[in-house]
């Protein structure tokens, strides 16, 4: 998982958007096309929040779009 906060001027039309609490998450096309489910959890702990995301693949043998075999 990666985090990007500088999105001004970027083309985000291919990404799926999920709103969770006060967070807007952008899911990459390769992830949402190969996942049967995506779970996002936001937890509060003292003065900060933690974000956890997990994806369940469509099958047990996953390859990225760049894979050549």
User: Three-state DSSP class for 30?
Assistant: helix
User: Three-state DSSP class for 34?
Assistant: helix
pTM: 0.57
Q: Are strands 48-57 and 35-45 parallel, antiparallel or unpaired?
A: antiparallel
Res. 67: pLDDT tops 80: no
Per-residue model confidence (pLDDT) at position 60: 67
What are the tokens at 6?
Answer: 């500088």
């Amino acid at each position: 998982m990666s985090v990007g906060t500088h999105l001004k001027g970027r083309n985000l039309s291919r990404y799926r958007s999920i709103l969770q609490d006060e967070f807007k998450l952008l899911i990459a096309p390769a992830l949402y096309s190969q996942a049967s489910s995506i779970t996002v959890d936001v937890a509060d702990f003292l003065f900060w929040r933690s974000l956890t995301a997990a994806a369940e693949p469509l099958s047990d043998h996953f390859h990225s779009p760049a894979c050549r075999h």
